Each structure stands twice: as C-alpha cells, then as structure tokens.
Structure 1
Amino acid sequence: MTLQQAMIPHFDPIVGRYLNLDLFGRPHRIYVEEAGQGIPLLCLHTAGSDGRQYRGLMTSDDILQRFRVISFDMPWHGKSSPPAGWHEEEYQLTTKAYVEMILTVADALALDRPVVMGCSIGGRVVLNLALDHPERFRAIIGLQSGAHVDPYYDITWAHRPDVHGGEVCASIVSGLMGPASPEAERWETLWHYMQGGPGIFKGDLHFYKIDGDIRGRVGAIDTSRCPLYLLTGEYDYSCTPADTLDLVTRIKGADATIMKGLGHFPMSEDPAAFLGYLKPVLERIEAGTRAA
C-alpha cells in the first residue's frame, strides 16, 4: 500500500465482538477479533499485551483469502475486562487455567481443529497443547517458544506503587525487539504494554517464569499427531534461538526456523518481515489439509 492509498479513509477487514461465556466457573466477556475465511487460525498474544499484536496478519489479503484469522484478549487484558470481584484477588496465570481458557474459547467459537499460534507465553502454552491435546489442532505454531526461562530481572518492578506500571512494563520488553524493526511498529508494540492493567504483566510472568516450566515433558510431544512449527527471532534474550533449537533436539519431527532481524514480538514489531517467514509454514499446513 502506498502512502497516498493509506491516507484514503478505509476500514480494516477486522471484525470485533464480545463473546459471553462461562470460564473457570464465572461469567466472562471475552473480546474476539477475526478476519478472513477458510482454515481457522487462532492467535495467542504475549504476556501483558492483547490481540492487537496480530493486526498485520489480520490485514494481509493473501492470508485472509485462505485462513480465518482469530485472536482474543485473555481475561484482564485489552478489551476483556476482569470478572466481577477482581478487586478482591490477585491475577496470576497458571498452566491449567491457560490451557482451559484456550480450549473453552475454541469450543465456544465452534472451531474445527484450528491451527493455533502463540507468541512468548503463547509460544510456551502451545507446547502444552501439543503434548496434551494434539487431536484438537491440525497444526501448532510456536513463536519465541522455549521450555523455560531463567529469571533475568526482578519482576516485582512490573507492579509497584512508586513507579508507572505501564511504562516500566514497556521498558522491560523494549530491548527484546530487533534493532531494524520499523519505528512506528516498535512504538505501537510498546504502547500496548503501556496500557496494560496493574499487575497483569507480572501475573502472566508467573506462568512464563515459574508455573509453566515444561522442560521435563517436551520430549513426549508426538508431532505425528499434530505438526509443530517453531519460528523464533534472532534478537531475543528472553526466548533465545538456542532455547528453540534445544526443543528441536528433544522433540522428534519439530520444525524450527530462526528469523533474521526479528525479536520477541515478530508479528507486531515487523509484520512484513514476519509474514515472509509465516506464509511458507501456512502453505505447508494448507497442503497437509488438502492431502488429508
């Protein structure tokens, strides 16, 4: 799209709605966006952010002709409000709750064996899906996937009364992006973090750094039951290329690509470059669907 074309008023092809459902025994309103038609592709956002990270994917005409791209804001994130009574509890994401959430939303949307793609915490939880629920998905794509992460900063800074939580969260992740990422996309990615609710990024990190350690189980993933594709940006010191390549040595049949120039948020920090790596994977999944 040229600059002149971009200045012409137009709507993105994205449609957003609220999904009302029972989750963890409580009523929730989950904000869901989608675009396109065809094979369902369910996208999971990173810790402390929301589904807006997949805007580049949801406006790619080439992909939308063949895939129904769906993202949802997890409870407490983006436009999905916390459940009633949230002010009397501390938000803390666990593996069990994360997996239940994804399966419940997929069922509520009546998705027929969707492709699921997650980044960061989403890239971690898709390993759980590949391990425990491979029959539910036709393929799994992990962005910035690793079995664990060693603590490398004090997460209490993500929720303190004496600092601006949103700005601190953005500063924590700012160095994880590739140095060549376009400035506009880089700052939009950080803006999503600046808008996060108090304590939400920290609560997600409970899963990422503590509860979600899956090192002892990844070797049991059977890619013959569900193909597993791993895409990791080279400029990431949270989930490093070495972390992803370690998974390949432990998971028979896993396919991994290290994305040059990209960092921890490939789909939002540089959508054009990311799509260059994602499209061949989607073509393989599409070919597998036709063959089946």
Structure 2
Amino acid sequence: MQVLTRPWGAMHYRIDGPEQAPTVVFANSLGTDLRLWDALLAHLPGFRAIRFDKRGHGLSDGTDTLRIEDLAEDAAALIEAEGRGPVVFVGLSIGGMIGQSLAARRPELLRALVLSNTAAKMGTPDAWRDRIAAVRAGGCAAIADAVMERWFGPAFRATHALRLWRNMLARSDAHGYAAACEAIAQADLAATTATLRLPTLAIGGDLDGASPPEQVRATANLIPGAEFRLLPGTGHLPCVEDPAGYAAILVPFLKEHAR
C-alpha cells in the first residue's frame, strides 16, 4: 500500500502498469474506493494507472469539512508526487467534479480530461442535505438500497455482484461520506468548467439515476470540442457494469492524448 502524507493525514493510493507507460489518474465516485476501477484495468494494457482513495473513503483519513477544491488540491499533490508530468485525468461522479476543478485550477498538470457520469452541478443542496441527515442518523447502510437503484441498471442488480457493491457503500465511513456530500452540495462548477480548453471526453450511462446522461452531455457542451459518448445498458458506474464497453470508449481517447 502506498501513502501520500497530506496536511490533513494519510492519502492511500495505488499504481499499476508499466513504469514507463503514459500515466492516467483515476478518481472514484462517492461511496466507493479505488477498487471501483479493478475490472477496467484489465482492459487498459500499456498505461500506468494511479488510483487513490479521496478523503474519508477507503483507507484514507478524513476531515471534518470538505470542498471540491480541497479534493482537487489532493489530486494535484498526488500528480506532482507520482504523475511524471502532465497526465490524463479520469473522474467519475464526484471524481469528475474533482477533475473539472483540477483542470481549472492547475491546467499544467493535465493533458486531457475524462468526465464520466458527472456534471458541473449535481443535485440540489436540499436533496444532499436530506441524504446527509439520513447517513448521520443511520450510517451509509440506511441509504444503500436506494443508492443501488441509482448506481446500476436492472440486469446488474439481478447479479450476485450487487451485494459486494452494496457492502462497499454500507460499510463506508458515515462521517467521510457526509463530508463529501456537503462538498457536492456546495459546488457549482459551470463557470470555471466553461473556461476549460483541454481535450475532453464525457461518458454517460443511459440508465444512470444519479447523473442522467442529459446532465453529462450538458456539462460536455460547456467545453469547446468536448466529445460525449453514451454507454447503453449501464447506470452510474459503467466501468463496473460493462468494463469492456467502457474501455472501448476510453482507450482510443487515451491513445490519442496520453503521450
């Protein structure tokens, strides 16, 4: 296990792939850890993948308060420590919000950006605060079944694998999850995302109940030249439901922009 020491504590990360290969950094969704990308990595030969647990998730320490900008600073520190020059940044859900903020604040660190199942603004403050209240009262297990409906399409929900993802969410640290929810509730990145001028690929799932594809497309439309691709039959975590299909969209973009 690898650890980056940050002012707030320990940040857990992992590096896979050939040492001299182009580097791609992956940022996870709310309520997941770096295992989110396990199935996808088998479809990405020839790339050096850096994954990390954001604050309050996985094996990383947490903080009492949190903003998307704070998470972007953490990602920047990791890229400066391990990225070996500009990288392609792939962010899913809140990870995509981290990517948008990072690209606006530290453009020299990124070659290109992938915004997966995300938006410049996600949900409403009231909806997020209702979720925060539920988690603080009953832990992440209290919301797990409802979240599974938003995360996955019916076919995946019928598989035995669903239980593992429900467990990942249900066992998440409630304090860290609530802090990340508050960061999303406060964030509206539309103005800064509209200033981005780097190569950008946006990916949506047509069954996504957390960030519907029209929201992903609208965010892509803020960035001149950004491409939007839809992966049919998938929900909020298409890299889990259809890793081969996700890779078929992602790999050509990486090959074009990672070097």
Conservation of the 8 A alpha-carbon contact between 1:121 and 1:207: no
Q: How many residues align?
A: 251
- Asked if residue 75 in structure 1 is aligned to residue 22 in structure 2, the reply is no
Aligned to 2:17: 36
Greater length-normalized contact order (CA 8 Å, ≥ 6 residues apart): 2
Aligned to 1:254: 226
Residues 185 and 276 (structure 1), Cα distance of their counterparts in 2 relative to 1, 3 Å cut: farther
Q: Which has the larger radius of gyration?
A: 1
Conservation of the 8 A alpha-carbon contact between 2:4 and 2:78: no
| Cα distance in 1 between the residues matched to 2:30 and 2:199 | 25
Aligned to 1:57: 40
**Normalising by the residue count of structure 1, what TM-score does the alignment of the two structures yield?**
0.79
* 1:255 Cα deviation from its structure 2 partner: 1.0
- 3-state SS in 1 of match to 2:225: coil
Conservation of the 8 A alpha-carbon contact between 1:115 and 1:138: yes
Aligned to 2:79: 106
Map 1:153-232 to 2 at 5 A: 154-155=130-131, 156-160=133-137, 163=138, 165-176=139-150, 177-181=152-156, 183-210=159-186, 212-222=187-197, 226-232=198-204
**1:81 aligned partner, one-letter code:** D
| Cα distance in 1 between the residues matched to 2:169 and 2:61 | 16
- In the alignment, structure 1 segments of 5+ residues that lack a partner are 1-16
**1:33 aligned partner, one-letter code:** R
- Asked if residue 117 in structure 1 is aligned to residue 90 in structure 2, the reply is yes
- 3-state SS in 2 of match to 1:138: strand
- 3-state SS in 1 of match to 2:104: helix
Conservation of the 8 A alpha-carbon contact between 1:44 and 1:119: yes
- Asked if residue 47 in structure 1 is aligned to residue 30 in structure 2, the reply is yes
**1:251 aligned partner, one-letter code:** I
Identity %: 22
Residues 93 and 268 (structure 1), Cα distance of their counterparts in 2 relative to 1, 3 Å cut: farther
**1:158 aligned partner, one-letter code:** V
- 3-state SS in 2 of match to 1:148: coil
| Cα distance in 1 between the residues matched to 2:161 and 2:113 | 26
**2:134 aligned partner, one-letter code:** W
Residues 149 and 253 (structure 1), Cα distance of their counterparts in 2 relative to 1, 3 Å cut: same
* 1:117 Cα deviation from its structure 2 partner: 0.6
Conservation of the 8 A alpha-carbon contact between 1:169 and 1:201: no
CA RMSD of aligned residues (A): 2.0
Q: Deviations over 1:185-224 (max 9, x none)?
A: 43322221112012222211112222x21123322111xx
Aligned with residue 2 of structure 2, among 18, 33, 37: 18
**1:274 aligned partner, one-letter code:** Y
Aligned with residue 93 of structure 1, among 61, 66, 71: 66
**1:18 aligned partner, one-letter code:** Q
Q: Deviations over 1:30-65 (max 9, x none)?
A: 2222211211111111112210111112333xx23x
* 1:110 Cα deviation from its structure 2 partner: 4.4
